[in-house]
Amino acid sequence: MQLSLATIVVQDYDQAIGFFTGALGFDLVEDSPATTNDGRAKRWVVVRPPGAETGLLLAQADGAEQVASIGNQTGGRVAFFLKVENFDVAYARLLAAGATFVTSPRDEPYGRVAVFLDIAGNKWDLIGGR
């Protein structure tokens, strides 16, 4: 058994692709035309960290309920955990790319950690060693 995808609801496909591939360095695995359950056009957009098997489906919000969930898919809690080999390098890369950090880096028993926001406003833990 394997978890293959998790969905992030975003405002715009192309802006989200830019953030995940540019700021985070993820690979764009798929960007294909698709249709909604009622036949309207949409895109199937999947990104994932290099070498990872689990990816993120970037889903452009469709309707008021989905728009309302952008950036708050987990009720304000950290939603995603990005583990990196070198925290300082990854932290500097994200800062240079304009990522918003909502906490300063701190040391925890499991590694160095800081919370940042993705392009949709969801909270992520950046976790790594030095």
Answer whether 120's CB lies under 8 Å from 8's CB. Answer: yes
Over its length of 130 residues, how does the chain's per-residue pLDDT go in tens digits? 999 999 999 999 999 999 999 999 999 999 999 998 888 899 999 999 999 999 999 999 999 999 999 999 899 999 999 999 999 999 999 999 999 999 999 999 999 999 999 999 999 999 997 6
Q: Which domains can be identified in the chain, with CATH numbers? A: 5-69 (3.10.180.10), 78-129 (3.10.180.10)
Token pair in block for residue 13: 């496909």
Answer whether 6's CB lies under 8 Å from 52's CB. Answer: no
Q: How many whole angstroms separate alpha carbon 87 and alpha carbon 125?
A: 11
Q: How many whole angstroms separate alpha carbon 15 and alpha carbon 31?
A: 13
- pLDDT score at 130: 65
